[in-house]
Amino acid sequence: MQWIETNIYTTTEGIEPLCGRLYAVGLNGVQIKDAADFNDFIENETQYWDYIDESLEPLKSCETCVTVYLTDDADGRELLSHIRGTVAELKALDTNGIFGRLTIELSGINEEDWANNWKQYYKPFTLGQKLLIKPEWETLDPAVAADKIVLSMNPGHLFGTGTHHSTQLCMVELEKYIKPGNRVLDLGCGSGILSILALLLGADSAVAVDIDPAAPVTAMENLAMNGISPDRYRVLVGNVIDDTALRAEIGGNYDVVVANIVADVIIAMSQTAYAQTARGGVFITSGIIGPRGDEVKAAITAAGFEIVSVHEQSDWLCITARKL
């Protein structure tokens, strides 16, 4: 197995919120390099050591960095996309800049090359009753696609290939709930995969929102790839949690609201999602690791929703709730 070192630069104050978000997207361990910790060790703990190796000297003035290791395959690339999304959210919330530059760098490999190499692992696959997801560069046998709803995707660097468990859980729920003529809202749209699927399933229109400014270009390219008219789709950029103007632009009365993000963001946006959902409409949400499930369910019910179902796949949860 090949691994890619992924470094996220922050500050001492940013370590805790950053690591919390990394654990929330499914990472099990991180490495932390922080000058403040090292200097504290030098000042207070040297009585227990005969000497400090000279190779550690650079730690005295290093930039704080949180490092994770990702597998060099489709799963690793999907996880990197998830990391990009949650780091972008943290950066948007850090209006005073106390968490540093929050820049992601891959070590020992050209990022563009890695982004292309993973394509060998991203192959067409079926899901649910009649869904077939295929990468743009793959050709399907017409007989295989004859009775399927085919979604073509090229996610770029954004989250949303359909291979991640949380995305698949949402897609299966959309297949159950989308009805002809529905209005759909996709919060944290990434590549646009969920809202574009909703349109292929028969929704009349969709609004997609993401904090990443690259989302509109990627989502609209994927929309065109699937032969859907752009007048049925809008992509907006911003943070719905604290941007009142954006919430006003999004509006409400959506039949289906879907959010495949992370637990902390879902908790924070539950009341907003409730306000944007039509009476009788559903809120489908995933990106939730198992241990956070009770917190998310509590926030969703406190907002006014009634939990309809909870599905699990490899310790990732998808919660579907209805606005009565």
Share of the chain above pLDDT 90, in %: 56
Tokens of 134: 């295929």
- Determine the pLDDT at residue 11: 92
CATH number of 3-118: 3.30.70
C-beta of residue 34 within 8 angstroms of C-beta of residue 15:
yes
| In the predicted structure, residue 53 carries a pLDDT above the cut 70 | no
Distance CA 31, CA 29 (A): 7
User: Quick one: which of 76, 66, 163, 86 has its CA closest to 115?
Assistant: 76
- Reduce the DSSP state of residue 116 to 3 states and report it: helix
Tokens of 16: 């805790």
| In the predicted structure, residue 59 carries a pLDDT above the cut 90 | no
Domain boundaries, the chain: 3-118, 160-322
Average pLDDT, rounded, for the chain:
87
- Determine the pLDDT at residue 25: 84
Mean pLDDT of 132-150: 86
| In the predicted structure, residue 74 carries a pLDDT above the cut 70 | yes
- Determine the pLDDT at residue 281: 98
Rounded to whole angstroms, what are the CA distances from 146 to 35, 196, 218? 59, 20, 27
Mean pLDDT of 269-277: 96
| In the predicted structure, residue 48 carries a pLDDT above the cut 50 | no
The answer regarding whether domain 160-322 maps to CATH 3.40.50.150 reads yes
pLDDT single digits (tens) 92-131 = 888 889 999 999 998 877 766 766 676 777 788 889 999 9
Please tell me what DSSP assigns to residue 62.
P
Nearest-10 Cα torsion for 19, 97, 12, 72: 40
C-beta of residue 230 within 8 angstroms of C-beta of residue 206:
no
